[in-house]
């Protein structure tokens, strides 16, 4: 596994460059599950970019990513050049990556103090 820098590009959350093997399990109605072997290029709690996908995943398709016995469901968001695929997590609470290098999950918006609390503080 290779982990380097974290970057952000028009995303809600930063992604961490991490190259590691993963399995993509796609289920099709009336057929056996198909397992595709590939690797991640960058990851976050909200999604991932994978490379080496030769199975031609369709945009909008729901797949299960498996890594070291951990599983989570993802939706295919985009297909790119060189067998690259972008995924959005449908279960962001499941951290299948098991990396301490991932940025913490985004915090809920800070709650504004109530008017009464603010008045008590200001006096």
pLDDT tens string, the chain, 123 residues long: the values are: 444 434 344 556 677 888 999 999 998 888 888 999 999 999 988 899 999 988 778 899 999 999 999 999 999 999 988 889 999 999 988 888 877 645 555 554 444 444 444 444 444
d(CA 74, CA 64): 6
Question: So what's the pLDDT on residue 45?
Answer: 82
* Per-residue tokens: 17: 């460059």
Considering the entire predicted model, what is its pTM?
0.70
CA 21 to mean position of chain CA atoms: 15
Place of tokens 């279960």: 91
* Per-residue tokens: 104: 């913490």
Question: So what's the pLDDT on residue 70?
Answer: 92
Q: What are the structural domains, with CATH classification, of the chain?
A: 2-105 (2.40.10.220)
Question: So what's the pLDDT on residue 106?
Answer: 54
């Amino acid at each position: 596994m290779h982990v380097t820098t974290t970057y952000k590009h028009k995303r809600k959350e930063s992604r961490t460059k991490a190259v590691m093997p993963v399995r993509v399990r796609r289920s099709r109605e009336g057929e056996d599950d198909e397992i595709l072997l590939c690797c991640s290029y960058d990851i976050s709690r909200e999604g991932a970019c994978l490379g080496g996908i030769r199975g031609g995943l369709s945009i909008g398709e729901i797949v299960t990513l498996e890594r070291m016995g951990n599983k989570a469901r993802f939706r295919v968001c985009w297909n790119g050049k060189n067998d690259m695929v972008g995924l959005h997590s449908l279960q962001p609470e499941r951290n299948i990556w098991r990396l301490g290098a991932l940025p913490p999950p985004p915090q809920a918006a800070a709650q504004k103090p109530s008017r009464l609390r603010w008045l008590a503080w200001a006096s």
